[in-house]
Structure 1
Amino acid sequence: MEKFSQFRDKGSGIAPFLPIPTESAGLQLPFHIFLFVCRVPLLLIFALSYFLVLQWMPIGVLGRKASLWCILGLPGIWWVDLQIDGVKKGSLAKNSASLPQAGSIIASSSASPIDALYLSAIFDPLFVASYPSTRLVQPISLFTALCRAFSRPQLNPPAKAKLVDLKTYLKQNPSRIVAVFPECTTSNGRGILPMSPALLTVPPRTKVFPVSLRYTPPDITTPIPHAYFTFLWNLCSKPTHCIRIRIAEPVYNTSKRTPEPVVAKTSAYATNHFDTFGTDSAASDADTLVGSEELEGPTTNEERAFLDKVAEALARLGRVKRVGLGVKEKIAFLVMWKTSRRRR
């Protein structure tokens, strides 16, 4: 894999886009094949039943969660190791505020389709897709969130996508949690990619919960698009899988933009009209994100600090390092990966 050395982070040497190899089954290969043959049909039947029928029926939140837990349980995802910052084991009931609640944001790591499935089974959030080129997000369904884990990364949202900022979306859905994957694409779980500027539109009093999900064995991550069979084999051929979930203390957006105040006019002769031209609309222009390219990425130290807080929390929770490789580098990596596969 030395030919992909240019896609290793210069500081840490981590290659976040290379697929994690599966351990050889050895003498247990017949048993793994048996599990795969038995589980895949059942998993497909349950998944299709939920996404085609059950999710549209009035089964309530508990019914949806129970259905999703059945989907998670079929491939052997039984053991869930959950830890929350600042909460001792056995005292979760007394510290319910440490968990994401209605009106808050989940900023989750992105490595596998299981990420969205697990978050939906626990918190029943609304999902949004983020992009590295805009502060706006695209509301999506759970099924679309699963499909995005298998799809190619995108620098820009689709042309006909309905976009909204997180502040507005929270106002439209005050009784729901909103889940966003700020890395904008999947990795192999060995590093945290740069954050999307979409988080900068979160209101200052809204709780943002960094959530890290890691898997054992780690080969059910999907950094390579369209690897459906490989994912199914790694997921369904092994007896059990473990999910390690870590939830950090909430982070608040302290980077609220404050435009410079307008200089008071003392008289028509003492003040030049051109000195204050356009300042009356500065506040509204700062809040208008659509079509404003200069406001897409972080432009102030406060905005960079807020994104760094979320990224550092995800890296600490996952016991990994931050990398400087993002969506643009992954697109270039996939081009080289596809070319190398063709030559074999």
Structure 2
Amino acid sequence: MEKYGQYRDRGSGIAPFFPISPPPSSPLLLPWHVFLVCIRIPLLTFAWLVWLCLIQWLPAGSALRKANQWCLLGIPGVWWIDIQVDGVRRGSLAQTPGGRLPYPGTIIASSHTSPLDVLYLAAIFDPVFTESYRNSKQVRPISQETALANCFSVTNPLALGTELETFELEMLVRRNPGRIIVVFPEATTSNGRGILNLSPSLLSAAKDIKIFPISLRYTPSDVVTPIPGWLEAFRFIWRLNSRPSHCIRVRIGKALTISTPSTFDSLEDGSPASKAKLRATADRASVGRGSFEANFFDTLQATSAQKVSGESETDDDDGISATEKRALDAVADDLARLGRVKRVSLGVEEKAKFLQAWEKGRQSRK
């Protein structure tokens, strides 16, 4: 694996694109695994055909749609779901105050590692799925089937010059007032061991629209699909259906809104406690009252006019200002905290290069 060392994060050494090996299993259990697959595949195929031919045309949020989605999860053994919400004690989820969970008119920024992400979010929220791109603030609304297929691909149509009908998130929320919008800001799947660089798609949301970061992790952890292709799809189906059960660990963060940074006078109160807090969060975007606030230390070398407005005049190569970059950093930090992983300095472009090297290595091994 040393020849793939350039596709590891330089700071942490995390390799987010490598497939995860399945846990060791006794050869004596192989007949049991084969039996489970033979029983589940026909049932899963039937449930999926019912969805394609009938259920998907029913109104969003209907009981039959959610029942079908739960069948698609339950048949392969996805029965155990551990849900935790920021600010809500364990065992008191039923008493969760309003506004702590995603609701129609809000956006979900979800981690992306497996097709189970799509199935679980569809079963719980029945949302509108979108496709994000590395170099665009706009998204493309897609069907559930396309969202599942994207888990086994790494194409970036906008980067390739393909013209697609895309929208800003603000417009998409207005067009679907009774639906939740799901965004996968990493724009591709990983193995769940790190949070990739986020695309700027979340920046097109209106400043008053709430964004809920959600982290999804699985046990066993090998039901992830960082490598695209039909071969990996068959491996995923085998691993998913050959085990008695799977567990999903769901972590829902506090709602955030992208807002214009305020002045820094309130941050410069001079108290030791305030200075210590600012130093502790110097490399992170400071989040307060559900909004992205500009970081004080990021403005120490700014001009006085920039300090008053809280804006930065410099853009990076993708046309994202420093203020917008801090907003994306805040979402990425939340996803990393919820998933108990680290952020990595890799993204869609690095994954595409890794897959080219991976394919060449696989051909040389034949």
1:236 to 230, 233, 241: 241
Q: Compute the displacement of 1:53 (Å).
A: 2.1
Tell me how far apart the structure 2 counterparts of residues 76 and 124 of structure 1 sit (CA, whole Å): 21
Aligned-residue CA RMSD in angstroms? 1.9
Aligned CA distance change for structure 1 residues 340 and 295 (closer, same or farther; 3 Å): closer
Q: Which has the higher contact order (CA 8 A, sep 6+)?
A: 1
Q: How does 1:164-183 map to 2 (within 5 A)?
A: 164-183=167-186
Q: How does 1:74-113 map to 2 (within 5 A)?
A: 74-88=75-89, 89-113=91-115
Give CA deviations for 1:172-220 in whole Å, capped at 9, x if unaligned.
1122110000000000000000111011111111110000000000111
Q: Which runs of 4+ in 1 moved over 6 A?
A: none
Aligned partner of 2:125 in structure 1 is 123
Q: Compute the displacement of 1:48 (Å).
A: 1.9
Q: Compute the displacement of 1:57 (Å).
A: 3.8
Aligned partner of 1:245 in structure 2 is 250
Greater mean alpha carbon deviation, residues 191-200 or residues 22-31: 22-31
The number of residue pairs the alignment matches comes to 308
C-alpha contact 1:135 1:296 (8 A) present in aligned 2: no
SS in structure 2 at match of 1:218: coil
Greater mean alpha carbon deviation, residues 323-332 or residues 152-161: 152-161
Tell me how far apart the structure 2 counterparts of residues 332 and 114 of structure 1 sit (CA, whole Å): 25
Gaps of 5+ in 2: 262-314
SS in structure 2 at match of 1:210: strand
Structure-2-length-normalised TM-score: 0.80
Tell me how far apart the structure 2 counterparts of residues 70 and 236 of structure 1 sit (CA, whole Å): 13
Q: Compute the displacement of 1:228 (Å).
A: 1.2
Aligned CA distance change for structure 1 residues 66 and 296 (closer, same or farther; 3 Å): farther
SS in structure 2 at match of 1:176: coil
Q: Compute the displacement of 1:96 (Å).
A: 2.8
Percent sequence identity is 49
Tell me how far apart the structure 1 counterparts of residues 136 and 322 of structure 2 sit (CA, whole Å): 18
Structure with max Cα Rg? 1
Q: Compute the displacement of 1:60 (Å).
A: 5.3
Aligned partner of 1:325 in structure 2 is 346
Aligned partner of 1:279 in structure 2 is none
Q: Compute the displacement of 1:47 (Å).
A: 1.1
SS in structure 1 at match of 2:97: helix
Q: Read off the aligned partner of 2:4 and give its amino acid letter.
A: F
C-alpha contact 1:101 1:177 (8 A) present in aligned 2: yes
Structure-1-length-normalised TM-score: 0.85
Q: Compute the displacement of 1:296 (Å).
A: 8.7
Greater mean alpha carbon deviation, residues 162-171 or residues 295-304: 295-304
Q: Read off the aligned partner of 1:24 and give its amino acid letter.
A: P
2:327 to 306, 322, 329: 306
Gaps of 5+ in 1: 257-293
Give CA deviations for 1:76-115 in whole Å, capped at 9, x if unaligned.
0000000000012325434131000111000000000110
Q: Read off the aligned partner of 2:210 and give its amino acid letter.
A: K
Tell me how far apart the structure 2 counterparts of residues 41 and 203 of structure 1 sit (CA, whole Å): 44
Q: Read off the aligned partner of 1:98 and give its amino acid letter.
A: R
Q: Compute the displacement of 1:24 (Å).
A: 3.0
Give CA deviations for 1:271-320 in whole Å, capped at 9, x if unaligned.
xxxxxxxxxxxxxxxxxxxxxxx899463222111101100000000000
C-alpha contact 2:158 2:164 (8 A) present in aligned 1: no
